[in-house]
Chain A
């Protein structure tokens, strides 16, 4: 079986995830079939417990499916070993987390160039990309600062820079604006959309903020682990 969708970044077929909660089996995701094309700016929304985070973890290879298959950039995730998956994530997926999750002992520059260091890019190339990205995200002058010296919005922008700078095929953001005030949240999502439009970066993000949902080009609503609706808005 293969995913024959040349312009699709993510393809899922019958993806199901069951986990145990204190010995009780819980079906978090139930047979999701989905296709995300290159350059999409997709929001996955739904109430708490609808399976948003679990589904994002599955398509990023952070978690393994119970049933079904996922292809990312045409590669089946379920057939990869732990090490292959780790390298695949490094080279193909950018992550933005709700709690920023920057490495606290690294400066802004070092955080942003971390993945490129793992990829073995030259110092010159790393420096060039970091400078460009920090400029685009309005982080000029913050290069030498450590995460605790930044505001929440600034930290999340650094996280966005880190996710995008290595030029991944897909950026996954789990509730990226949940810890930000509404103004900063809108600013951040607009910057993400700007990067989507100017650099063609594919974004999938989860949210339950209606103002944020409005910025998405495609809106997928999850309910009880199933796709309730899938609407392309532009």
Chain B
């Protein structure tokens, strides 16, 4: 108790120095909190855009389909599976998809393409498919023999809206599948590689063409919350009656994208380390200065019987009190900044569109870790760097210290 009292009152002895120390730590916490909020906000925004409006947060396939896609690895009882998933809490939308390879031609030009059968109404609701149409129109409500093609594929085929496109593929029954469709729209999903190959058909048309009546290859699930996707995937997996179906979150089925995001995020930690380093140096400087100044006092405390451990804690507690004040103020400032910028956003130096979405502002995020990490890191670094001066104070030789002026 007396140690706490001395530590607390010591804070007010050199008010300017205390203010500067608190300011350093406050700045560190605020910057750390903002950096994490900014990092999480921007990356989660991109991830959410890419998953929510394109791939889906979760996908369901027949086991092995992701590694080795096969026309025959289908989800046969789609409506049963879909209704079970849609009733799960946390699921916003689902959309069935069917995939196949095919040869497409317009006039005398041909190209290999990826046939994608979608239920346009569900896909519009789930991934805003219709908003990615750059030319022409989306599928009509009762679409038949309509096709939407990627802008890249359209360029390869020199196709325009209104052209007739002939598709040749292989049916599930082994027959040659071929039919003609009218191009009603061109789409830019934001993924140029995909747009080079993509040919979208209404699900019923695709099933008829490929002789996959009522069958699909994939159910894309859009979740309410990006952060709970892994947990939701596990929940959905448990609820499925068919053990041959696999429910995977985006981190698994879009592994390359996930790895790229994580690698990019790791770069952000370097900036945090720099901030922490600057804070640590500032704190070390202050603590060392005050310990050197108070050598005589520590000598007196040792002389009258104060144990080294008590003197060590006297220094550490003093730093901890300053750190606690800094952290409280820094968290408040960090929260305010992150909250404000999560609503207002920061205008991007250059605007761009991706997957039909316009990116004009970057947004921060208010989350638990943007407080927990700065609190832990700043307090810990302050305590760690103070340990050395504290040890020095604790080891003060009383007779020698009493001779200092």
Residues of A within 8 A of B (CB): 57, 60, 62-63, 82-83, 86-87, 89-91, 95, 97, 99, 101, 103-106, 110, 114-115, 117-118, 162
> A86, B302: Cβ atoms under 8 Å?
yes
List 7 other contacts, CB 8 Å, given A99-B296, A103-B300: A62-B402, A87-B305, A87-B307, A89-B304, A101-B296, A103-B297, A114-B304
> B300, A97: Cβ atoms under 8 Å?
yes
Tell me the nearest residue of chain B to A105, going by C-beta. Answer: B9
Given the interface contacts A62-B399, A63-B399, A97-B402, does A105 sit within 8 Å of B304 by beta carbon? Answer: no
- From residue 49 to 79 of chain B, which have CB atoms closer than 8 A to chain A? none
Tell me the nearest residue of chain A to B307, going by C-beta. Answer: A86
> A115, B304: Cβ atoms under 8 Å?
yes
- From residue 1 to 39 of chain B, which have CB atoms closer than 8 A to chain A? 1-2, 5-6, 9-10, 12-13
Given the interface contacts A103-B297, A103-B300, A106-B5, does A91 sit within 8 Å of B10 by beta carbon? Answer: no
CB-CB under 8 A from B1, the residues of chain A are 117
Given the interface contacts A91-B305, A103-B6, A114-B2, does A62 sit within 8 Å of B296 by beta carbon? Answer: no
Q: Does B90 contact A (CB under 8 A)?
A: no
> B306, A118: Cβ atoms under 8 Å?
yes
> A90, B304: Cβ atoms under 8 Å?
yes
Give the docked Cα–Cα distance between A110 and B296 (Å). 19
Closest CB pairs A-B (n = 4): A90-B305, A105-B9, A62-B399, A63-B399
Give the docked Cα–Cα distance between A56 and B117 (Å). 97
Given the interface contacts A103-B6, A105-B10, A114-B2, does A86 sit within 8 Å of B305 by beta carbon? Answer: yes
> A115, B6: Cβ atoms under 8 Å?
no
Q: Does B303 contact A (CB under 8 A)?
A: yes
Number of cross-chain contacts by CB at 8 Å: 62
Tell me the nearest residue of chain B to A62, going by C-beta. Answer: B399
Q: Does B190 contact A (CB under 8 A)?
A: no
Partner of A110 from the list B5, B306, B399 (CB cut-off 8 Å) is B5
> A86, B9: Cβ atoms under 8 Å?
no
Tell me the nearest residue of chain A to B305, going by C-beta. Answer: A90
> B398, A62: Cβ atoms under 8 Å?
yes
Mask, B365-405, CB within 8 Å of A = 1, is 00000000000000000000000000000000011001000
> A105, B306: Cβ atoms under 8 Å?
no
CB-CB under 8 A from B398, the residues of chain A are 62
Q: State the Cβ distance, A61 to closest chain B Cβ, in Å.
A: 9
Q: State the Cβ distance, B319 to closest chain A Cβ, in Å.
A: 16
Partner of A103 from the list B301, B308, B399, B402 (CB cut-off 8 Å) is B301
Give the docked Cα–Cα distance between A118 and B308 (Å). 13
Q: Is the interface of B mostly helix, strand, loop or mixed?
A: helix
8 contacts between A and B (CB under 8 A): A63-B399, A86-B308, A95-B300, A103-B301, A105-B5, A105-B6, A105-B12, A115-B305
Residues of B within 8 A of A (CB): 1-2, 5-6, 9-10, 12-13, 296-297, 300-308, 398-399, 402
CB-CB under 8 A from A106, the residues of chain B are 5-6, 9
Q: State the Cβ distance, B98 to closest chain A Cβ, in Å.
A: 77
Interface centre among A63, A106, A114, A162 (most CB of B within 10 A): A114
Q: State the Cβ distance, A195 to closest chain B Cβ, in Å.
A: 18
CB-CB under 8 A from A63, the residues of chain B are 399
Q: State the Cβ distance, B386 to closest chain A Cβ, in Å.
A: 18
> B304, A95: Cβ atoms under 8 Å?
yes
CB-CB under 8 A from B304, the residues of chain A are 89-90, 95, 114-115, 118, 162
CB-CB under 8 A from A83, the residues of chain B are 307-308
Q: State the Cβ distance, B141 to closest chain A Cβ, in Å.
A: 80
Tell me the nearest residue of chain A to B309, going by C-beta. Answer: A83
Give the docked Cα–Cα distance between A86 and B2 (Å). 18
Interface centre among B296, B301, B303, B305 (most CB of A within 10 A): B305
CB-CB under 8 A from B13, the residues of chain A are 104-105
Give the docked Cα–Cα distance between A114 and B6 (Å). 11
Give the docked Cα–Cα distance between A182 and B300 (Å). 26
> B6, A101: Cβ atoms under 8 Å?
no
Give the docked Cα–Cα distance between A97 and B299 (Å). 12
> A101, B399: Cβ atoms under 8 Å?
no
Q: State the Cβ distance, A15 to closest chain B Cβ, in Å.
A: 15
Tell me the nearest residue of chain B to A58, going by C-beta. Answer: B399
> B9, A118: Cβ atoms under 8 Å?
no
Tell me the nearest residue of chain B to A113, going by C-beta. Answer: B2
Give the docked Cα–Cα distance between A174 and B84 (Å). 88
Interface centre among A57, A60, A62, A117 (most CB of B within 10 A): A62
> A62, B303: Cβ atoms under 8 Å?
yes
Give the docked Cα–Cα distance between A101 and B404 (Å). 12
Q: State the Cβ distance, A94 to closest chain B Cβ, in Å.
A: 8
Tell me the nearest residue of chain B to A56, going by C-beta. Answer: B399
Q: State the Cβ distance, A185 to closest chain B Cβ, in Å.
A: 20
Give the docked Cα–Cα distance between A196 and B303 (Å). 22
